Structure 1
Amino acid sequence: MRTALVIGTGLIGTSAALALAARGVRVHLRDHAPEHVRTAAALGAGTADEPEGPVDLAILAVPPAHIAEAVTGAQRLGLARGYIDVGSVKGGPRRELRAQGCDLSSYLGTHPMSGREKSGPLAATADLFEGRPWVLTPTPETDTEVLNLALELVALCRAVPVMMDADAHDRAVALVSHTPQLLSSLVAARLETADETAVRLCGQGIRDVTRIAASDPGMWVEILSANPGPVADVLAAVATDLEATVRALRALDSADEEKRGGGVLGIEDVLHRGNSGRSRVPGKHGQAPAVYEMVAVLISDRPGELARIFADAGAAGVNIEDVRIEHATGQQAGHVQLMLEPGAAPVLTAALRERGWAIRAQ
């Protein structure tokens, strides 16, 4: 691939453009908002100049509702040898394209499973897709050259290609992406009118659950509007569990011992099923989730503190597998939680204490 055209210079389009430009591909940029193109170009994502002829690959980074129109328009103008979209929904746009008589041999629907709570070109990074799944949904009609161009794009972005059926993809993202967004927003909405004294007690758990609730509502309305059925199916199943959990909690308040026992069993059931489901979430490098030991270290909010911890861990010969930071409310301090392979915690604890770090007992 020598040339590419990115249509839509938001977070995903600009990130793909930055990755391609960094690897020597000449990237041309288009967007209905000229200021987005100027920003992306200033970041080094490519040029606002129109290509002199058809490019190798056109990447359409537009909302799902506009994919069919954008692909059809680009094909009509002969802008590229191959066309892909990077929308988060795949089945509906393909059916629209087929109904419009689009050339499906030169088109391939894709979806990089990566993003951020922020949107727009200023949120883009060249490494956004590194190590992340990038779904490709070819059909028997897909031209081999187009599939190869898409695979080259995925490789240049250092993502991991995953082949899926379009409708199976939509059911999967309803479960692992779209429903979590709504549930995060539902929990965060409880905080909107909560008493200030309650909000001040927020810890890492509520921060984890509500992180993606900061996402752009307009963008998510477009995404959910393109995949409403599968998301509603998952939410209906969650609603069934919620109703059962509410009944179990009410039973725990009962004076009847038998009802309380049933309530305990109901709560245990949902918690155990949660444990089982969580254990299936892929861990490091896509492998089965590892069971890590944790060392919690008190740190002050000063530049260089994390670097010192990592350097001291490296000097002790311990690899940090994951890290989380729990900030202290109203203080310039917090705890950094270091996740380690089993057996490494005593070694690191001793080494850090020797270097003056305060370790929180687990």
Structure 2
Amino acid sequence: MLVTVYDEGYLRHETPADHPESPNRVLSALSGVGELAKIIRPTVNVDLIETAELVHEYHYVEYVTSLCAIGGRLDPDTYVSRGTCDALTSSINALATAVNLLKSGVRHIYLPLRPPGHHVGFRGRALLAPTQGFCVLNNAAIISSLLLKSGASRVAVLDIDAHHGNGTQEIFYSTSKVFYISTHQDPRTLYPGTGYVNEVGVGDGEGFNMNIPLPPMTGDDLFKVVLKPIENALRQYKPSYIVVSLGFDSHFLDPLTNLNLSLNSYIEAFLMIRRLIEEGVTEGSVYVLEGGYNTDVIRQGSRALAMVSNGIDQVNIEYYTKTNGEIAKYFNKMIEQHRAFFPQYY
């Protein structure tokens, strides 16, 4: 059964009334999983600053926590309110709780956290991005580091947000202990402008950073194509655990992006991860909520996650989307380029 770790503290991070990142996103996720998930509160209390410093520079963490006392903005998009540190503390405790759950044998965990995190690098803005894209601490990076610290030999982060996780890439770019894999809208057409195919890692991390940029209006038919090399990569890497940066903004109804996926693409990804767990390729998965700004999509997508995690195979809740011919031609060229960098996964 899917275990969802929830705390009311997530809701205390405040943004302006017209801001797309709101508490309603978390409430929609909870409504979606409903009776299909076991919902628990965080059971571990850890130090916010000490835990955040596993992946972020000390001065950045200190600045964020000091800003919580008065409220303000990290940049034009990213707010820190008086309640933000409550939300961050709740999120950090949930991440530590999820590590214990995974180590105890729980296989599928959902963390509908806020604020989101995958755009935050060592010192905040990552890889020359203009803003932090609503993110304050990098939740996926923190739990990956906590898992490694707890004895995991390697961790894979699968990022299926429409925006590239530039912060996560920056943090793990030079290590083979974390394999970062991202599908996202072509960086020439969407913030943060990073995540090209040739960004493959450096040093010990070379070959362990895999970006698959998708042209605008990519549909379910082509997303299914990119899942094949991703699954092959995960099978070869054999991560102890898979962390999913789960952004529902690749959906065709999202107001901030231009991809054309339905929830069927997400279901295919959920089924793939469940298959890898059942076949012993990896021990478990944790889904960390990132973007997605249509609350009905978050609700339905969260329900789909619960259904798949609970062993249900047929979860077709929307029509499949198709990609038009011109975009498909561009996509095929991108795949050829990707294959040149990662032939072992094709």
Normalising to structure 2: TM-score of the pair? 0.28
Structure number with higher relative contact order (C-alpha < 8 Å, ≥ 6 residues apart): 2
Greater C-alpha Rg: 1
Structure with the bigger percentage of helix: 1
TM-score when normalising by structure 1: 0.27
